Amino acid sequence: MIGLLKSMATTMKHALSGSTFTVEYPETAPDVSPRFRGVHKFSQERCIWCRQCENVCPNDTIQIVMDDQRNGEQYNLHIGQCIYCRLCEEVCPVDAILLTQNFEFTADTKHEFVYNKEQLKAVPWYKDIDPLESREPDRGAWIGEGEGEVDYQ
C-alpha cells in the first residue's frame, strides 16, 4: 500500500510542478548539434568529379554522370534514400559535398526527393549554421584543409 501511494505521489509531484519536457515544434525549433547530419549541399565550383563519393556510398544514393572528357554533367542525390552516414563528406577531398543541419524536407512523392545539382546547391543552411565551421577543429584528420573562402551560393 505504501508503494502504491509512493507511486501516486511521484506522478502527482510531476503534475503539480507544471514543468514540461516537450517543446512545441515547429514554433520552437529544436537545437541541433553542429555535427548533425541533414540534407546535403553541393558546390559545383569545388567538385573535381573524382567520383569518390559515388563509390563510397553504401546504398547507391549518389549518381554522377560525366561526358567522355570526364567533365561533370549531372550530380544526382536521392535524399529520401540516403541513410545520412556522412561517408561522402568524409571522403571528399575538396569539401564539395557537405551535410547541412537541415532536417526539414517534404515532398509529395518519393521521386521529388531525387535532387539534381541545382537543387543540392539551393539547400539552405539550418539556422545559418555552416557545418564547415563547426566541424573545423576535427576535420584536419580527415580532409585536407580547404583553401580560401568556400562559396556554396
**Shortest Å distance, C-beta 74 to other proteins:** 23
Cross-strand bridge partners of residue 98: 41
**Shortest Å distance, C-beta 112 to other proteins:** 23
Name the phi and psi angles at 41, rounded to 5: -130, 140
Long-range contact pairs involving 136-144 (C-beta distance under 8 Å, separation at least 24): 142/90, 143/90, 143/92, 143/93, 143/95, 144/93
Q: What angle do CA 53, 54, 59 make, to 5 degrees?
A: 110
Q: Compare residues 43 and 61 and give the one whose CB is closer to other proteins.
A: 61
Stretch that binds other proteins, among 29-37, 72-80, 107-115, 145-153 (CB under 8 A): 29-37
Q: Does 48 bind other proteins (CB under 8 A)?
A: no
Contact, 85 vs 58, CB < 8 A?
yes
Grid cell in block for residue 119: 537543387
CB neighbours of residue 143 within 10 Å: 16
Q: Does 104 bind other proteins (CB under 8 A)?
A: no
**Shortest Å distance, C-beta 37 to other proteins:** 5
Among 29, 65, 66, 83, binds other proteins (CB under 8 A): 83
Report the distance separating Cα 125 and Cα 120, nearest Å: 11
**Shortest Å distance, C-beta 39 to other proteins:** 13
Among 50, 58, 145, 146, binds other proteins (CB under 8 A): 58
CB neighbours of residue 27 within 10 Å: 6
Q: How many residues bind other proteins (CB under 8 A)?
A: 38
The binding site for other proteins (CB under 8 A) comprises 1-4, 6-12, 14-15, 18-22, 24, 32-37, 56, 58, 83-87, 90-91, 137-138, 141-142
